């Protein structure tokens, strides 16, 4: 019987690639999204993957959204916490709302979603949770104290939750992408992008499909001995 997976922020960019990779690996995939109904409909029509709308930063919405998925599709075996936002600015210009919103969605979303699926995974003695961190959570980034803090927090969250799931067959890992060729990065001015690529030893941006293959590995039946780990996929830009 196919494993059932939820990918948050799963209808575009890296999330879309992850949804497709898990489907290809044999999972029944559900993609969560935050707001773009038209894009979600287009994604579902094109891929055959159901899309459900809720805000991962809203605890009650996550409980209700997961309950609906479990009622309509089945118990969730795999969770990929991919949803994330940016509200960039130096701390001199960053408002409290900019800080709060990024922490609420990027880090709070991981807690909210894990809280909704973890008990069932433990009961069934099998589960895979993969949290998408970032190179900027590992090495920091100018103008991103909110984003770097949230993504760094994901790595600690992953290690702690991995310890709670290990004996019950639930693995919890993180994947930290570097700069990936997505819409978000495409919005960066060309001269800035050139400087970013110059710092990547392999000399290019990564692809969403490369990140998706890493996630698919961490979600596989054969990955049961990998837990509490962070897989860095950044072209050698940050090594530690």
CB 150 within 8 A of CB 106: yes
Q: How far apart are CA 180 and CA 207, in angstroms?
A: 5
Burial 61-97 (b: 16+ CB within 10 A, else e): bbeebbeebbeebeebbbbbbbbbbbbeeeeeebeee
Active site amino acids: 147
Q: How far apart are CA 121 and CA 119, in angstroms?
A: 5
CB atoms inside a 10 Å sphere around CB 228: 17
Residues in the chain: 240
């Amino acid at each position: 019987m196919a494993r059932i997976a939820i990918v948050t922020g799963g209808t575009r960019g890296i999330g879309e690639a992850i949804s497709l990779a898990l489907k290809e690996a044999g999972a029944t995939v559900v993609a969560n999204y935050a707001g773009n109904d038209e894009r979600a409909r287009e994604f579902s029509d094109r891929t055959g993957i159901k899309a459900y709308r809720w805000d991962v930063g809203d605890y009650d919405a996550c409980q209700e959204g997961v309950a609906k998925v479990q009622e309509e599709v089945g118990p969730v075996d795999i969770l990929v916490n991919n949803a994330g936002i940016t509200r960039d600015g130096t701390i001199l210009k960053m408002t409290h709302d900019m800080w709060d919103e990024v922490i609420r969605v990027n880090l709070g979303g991981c807690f909210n979603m894990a809280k909704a699926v973890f008990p069932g995974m433990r009961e069934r003695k099998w589960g895979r949770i993969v949290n998408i961190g970032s190179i900027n959570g590992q090495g920091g980034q100018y103008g991103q104290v909110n984003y770097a803090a949230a993504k760094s927090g994901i790595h600690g969250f992953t290690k702690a939750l991995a310890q709670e799931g290990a004996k019950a067959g639930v693995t919890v890992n993180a994947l930290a992408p570097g700069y990936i060729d997505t819409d978000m990065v495409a919005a960066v001015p060309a001269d800035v992008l050139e400087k970013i690529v110059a710092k990547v030893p392999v000399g290019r941006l990564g692809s969403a499909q490369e990140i998706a293959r890493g996630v698919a590995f961490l979600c596989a039946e054969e990955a049961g001995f990998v837990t509490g780990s962070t897989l860095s996929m950044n072209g050698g830009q940050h090594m530690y």
